[in-house]
Amino acid sequence: MLSVAAMPASARPQGARASSAVEFARKADALKPGEWVWAPQVAPAGPVHVYVDLSRQIATVYRNGVRIGVATISSGKSGHETPAGVFLILQKDANHRSSTYNNAPMKFQERLTWDGIALHAGGLPGYPESHGCVHLPLEFARLLFGVTEMGGVVVVAGRAGSAVLAPSAGVLAPIGGKGANVSHVPLAADEAWRWTPEAAPAGPLTIIASRSDQRVVVLRNGIEIGRARAELPAGDFQTHVMTYVVAPDGGPRWVLVGVPGHQDEESEVLDAAVLAQARMPQGFLDALRAVIVPGTTALVTQSHVLPHQTGGKLTVLASSAP
């Protein structure tokens, strides 16, 4: 099968780090105010977009269609509700100060509207309390600021205080790169695999293998191009990440990524035949091998990728006042 490694650690805003016992938090709404998740190695390249769920007060960050971060937020309070919609990042200012609210600091600001709506570090009391902006944990805001670009897509959905009607964001992006909902097309009962490379002819390739769902999903440039039923060995229940490289001797290799909590595995080389340990339809496997290039990322996880199952988080970190 594909093989890779999990990701834990806790951190306060000042950067002090401590080992976390939580390697696989099951639900986003289990995060306490100020807690966040950050695992950028899961998808090291590709388009980034942010999904803000006002109903749950949760922000999820996707890169190349794969979740790399989750944080609790605080959106606009009554009378100053954060608007829902699809926004582009109009301005980035790491040291922004408010021109409306007494020069208040708004660290790592990412502007969504010219009339004052933005993502930035701010208070996180566990309920909506801002004047319309989306408050993020300080360190999470800094990390997010580092991976987004001008013009990046931010989708704000739901309504603070309303009943939650839609499933929370999972391992795969619930929206496309332009903010449109992505419809999940399940495999038919008699369908073992699907392969549509024309859906995304170029871009970073990410392979996600879910032990829980016994599925392999292939994304290119954040768009699904393949899906198959698979038999994935149970192994451990951690999350593993690896990158495909060409070794100095010219041979292809999968190299483990030193994700948080597993830094000792960094650069450990696996034989390229590791793919054969997962039982997949031969036609799908042949098509997949043909598109794997150096830089391809593989993620093996216990989390669900099917939409009726919402996966857990990867690393849980806390950002709180000392």
| Together in a domain, 131 and 212 | no
| Together in a domain, 77 and 123 | yes
60, part of any domain: yes
186, part of any domain: no
- What six digits make up the tokens of 88? 């582009």
Per the confidence metrics, is the pTM higher than 0.75? yes
In total, how many domains does the chain have?
Answer: 2
pLDDT at 121 over 50: yes
| Together in a domain, 126 and 237 | no
| Together in a domain, 202 and 54 | no
Across the chain, mean pLDDT equals 79
| Together in a domain, 155 and 222 | no
Nearest to 207 by CA among 64, 315, 309, 49: 64
| CB-based contact 112:119 (threshold 8 Å) | yes
| Together in a domain, 287 and 313 | no
184, part of any domain: no
Measured CA to CA, the distance from residue 157 to residue 152 in angstroms comes to 16
124, part of any domain: yes
> What domain range includes position 114?
10-176+309-318
| Together in a domain, 127 and 253 | no
- Per-residue pLDDT, 284: 96
| Together in a domain, 135 and 90 | yes
| Together in a domain, 69 and 120 | yes
pLDDT digits (tens, 9 = 90+) for 252-306: 788 877 555 555 555 565 654 555 577 899 999 999 999 999 999 998 887 888 8
- Per-residue pLDDT, 15: 26
> Out of 18-32, 72-86, 159-173, 207-221, which region has the weakest mean confidence (pLDDT)?
18-32
Q: State the pLDDT confidence band at 145, using cuts at 50, 70 and 90.
A: very high
Give 48's strand partners.
63
Residue recorded with tokens 């948080």: 260
| Together in a domain, 158 and 289 | no
Q: Provide mean pLDDT across the span 111-136.
A: 93
Measured CA to CA, the distance from residue 46 to residue 299 in angstroms comes to 15
283, part of any domain: yes
Q: Provide mean pLDDT across the span 218-246.
A: 85
Helices (H), the chain: 138-147, 282-291
| Together in a domain, 51 and 161 | yes
pLDDT digits (tens, 9 = 90+) for 214-230: 999 999 999 999 999 99
Nearest to 54 by CA among 138, 131, 107, 128: 128
- Whole-angstrom CA distances from 133 to 75, 109, 130, 138, 254 are 6, 10, 6, 14, 42
Share of the chain above pLDDT 70, in %: 75
| Together in a domain, 70 and 125 | yes
Q: What is the CATH number of the domain that holds 261?
A: 2.40.440
- What six digits make up the tokens of 185? 């097309």
- Per-residue pLDDT, 27: 46
pLDDT digits (tens, 9 = 90+) for 16-31: 222 233 333 344 557 8
Q: State the pLDDT confidence band at 40, using cuts at 50, 70 and 90.
A: confident
